[in-house]
Amino acid sequence: MKTSLILLAALAFSPSFAFPEAAAPAFVPERAPVIGMGWQQECDSFSFAILGDKTSGGEGKWPIFDRAVNEINLLAPDFVITTGDQIPGHMEERAQWDAEWTEYLEHAGNLECPLVLIPGNHDIANTHCYEFWQEDFGATHFFFLYGNCLFLVLNTEEERFDGRGPVWEAMMAFAEAALREHGQVRHTFLFFHKPMWADPRFAGEWKRLTAALGDRRYTAIAGHEHYLSTSYQDGNPLIIMNATGAGVRESGVRAFGGFHAFAHVTVNRRGVQMAVMEPGGSLFPVDTAPASFREAINRRVVRLDAETPNGLNTPEVRINAAALMANPFEKPITVRLSVGPMHECGWALPGESSFHPEASGDIYSVEISLEPGREQRVPMPFIAPASAVSTPPAVRWAVRYDGQWLEKESMPMAEMNAAPLYPISAWRDVPKWQVAGPFPVGPIDTSRIKADPAAANPNLYKRLGPEDGYAPEARYEGGITWRPAASDGNGLLNHNAILGTMDLAAAYNAFFVYSPEDQTTHAAVYADNFAQAYLNGALVESGQNFGAPGGFIYAPLALKTGWNAVVVKVINNRGDWFLRWLMADPRGNLRFADAPPAP
């Protein structure tokens, strides 16, 4: 593969005409993922282009990418850099890797300047892809100087091998050293695939990076989300780039960022100027899509809450939920609030509800128009048999703004987009855990897992020992032991960071909860990909999430007086994996610990 990539790059990236070539800038380390030749002589004024994500929903959208390449050639930048996710990836076989990269480079090969690649979570989805990348392209993180600017490229997938272990730490130390040694550059450009400033999995790492950046001027650029979004930190731009041929729900409301584009950046005596260009369309300032606009659509227009449910210990439970709608914009909006699937989840809306069935019959919605600054409370009463409380319907909304519907993003790592069962104030984070894994489980038949998990993979119900709870001295098959872990403060356990990435594997997450009385409560559970809850060594049958119709489940936990051992088994199919776990504490009398209590 290395030979084919190099030959393809040499042929495809030879410009039809060019000024005399200069030596390529010095990359550190020397073997970095740079394709093509034709570096120009460095000077005070230069420009470069940025290609956004191409994969994940971008199959068949090569004409958009090709148009972007042609327009970049007309702009004649000094070089092009990507935001990652060049290929679908997620493979373990060399042949598929070779085929996907050959296809990408056949199109990117029409560029008439060098191309600098950065890795995304599709390109380096697992340790196999990580090794393929190193064999073909070299470094996964690197830096170079150009026009007295520092370009520092980091790899948010560096955690694949050992989480936040030595491999990750080496990259962070590399970044800190590069920033320390090149503190006098006129500008610093940071590139990585996942937006570290906006992704809760990287909050600590972003804080560490900003400390190393100090008071220098910088621009941070990422991809992954496929929507343009610009914010500022101490006056420094933080930019999530548009997709360039990847999947995106397109919208004419440019402030929402839902359109294909590439970026053109000019650096001169006036500073740094950046614009995004829609292939075959218009040019826009980079702050056309402020992060605050998306934040308003996603979090400020609708806020969910509930009162304590009635009849939790009876055959029929009444859920007292509500949505507070608000218009934070200067224009009138209409909000369409939807819940469902209702029948599949086993929940129902009483006859007096203002919600009505949509065409599908299993989604119910209501539309509310709001003038600027106005608010309205919308009751969301539900009835569910006790056996169905664990499978709440999802709550979604869309906002009609300037005549177009803008759909809220799903953000299960940071939000709970399910019909609320308890008051929001009752949900508590478990801060300290013990984690054991990864344990290989073998292939999973995802087409069968919702209906028959045991048939999808019998190993999902094989007891391996950690189901009984955390035991400090325990050692399991393969020499696996427990290790401490912490949540992000909002119920998130990132297994990429704790254990590294392992496909077709399971991890056990344990803690203890003290209750002063016998009581039943619930945990809100979401997992990438699947989860099973154990309480005091026994599987909680309704505490299993194998792709719940509403995304989250409410796992019922019948706590006994005293300390209770809770274990949550998370099963990863492929790629990233994480657990979201919040416990309802409506009486305010629960205590958590990550170690066995003293007798």
**Is the link from the previous residue into 490 a cis peptide, with omega within 30 of 0?**
no
Handedness of CA 39, 42, 46, 49 (dihedral sign): positive
Whether the per-residue pLDDT at 430 is higher than 80: the answer is yes
Residue 60 has a pLDDT of 86
pLDDT digits (tens, 9 = 90+) for 215-234: 999 999 999 999 999 999 99
Roughly what angle, to the nearest 10 degrees, separates helices 2-12 and 94-108?
Answer: 10
> What is the average per-residue pLDDT within 179-194?
98
In the predicted model, what is the mean pLDDT of the chain? 94
Residue type, 107: H
Same fold, 297-421 and 426-593: no
Full-model pTM: 0.93
Average pLDDT for 203-225: 97
- In the chain, % of residues over pLDDT 70: 96
297-421 adopts what CATH topology? Immunoglobulin-like (2.60.40)
- 237-260 pLDDT, tens digit per residue, is 999 999 999 999 999 999 999 999
Q: 2-16+26-289 has which CATH code?
A: 3.60.21.10
Q: What is the pLDDT of residue 21?
A: 61
* Mean pLDDT of all residues in 397-417: 95
Cα 149 from Cα 147, distance rounded (Å): 5
**Residue 248 near residue 261 (C-beta atoms within 8 A):** no
Q: Does residue 16 surpass a pLDDT of 50?
A: no
Beta strands at 591-593 and 505-515: parallel, antiparallel or unpaired: antiparallel
Q: Does residue 527 have a pLDDT over 90?
A: yes
**Which sequence spans correspond to the domains of the chain?**
2-16+26-289, 297-421, 426-593
Residue, of 559 and 161, whose pLDDT is higher: 559
- Predicted confidence band of residue 272 (pLDDT cuts 50, 70, 90): very high
pLDDT band, very low/low/confident/very high, at 410 (cuts 50, 70, 90) = very high
pLDDT at 162 over 60: yes
pLDDT of res. 298: 96
Burial, 295: exposed, middle or buried (Cβ in 10 Å; 0-12, 13-18, 19+)? Answer: middle
pLDDT in tens, 545-581: 999 999 999 999 999 999 999 999 999 999 999 999 9
Across the beta sheet with 302-310, the strand order is 302-310, 316-326, 375-385
CATH number listed for the domain at residues 426-593: 2.60.120
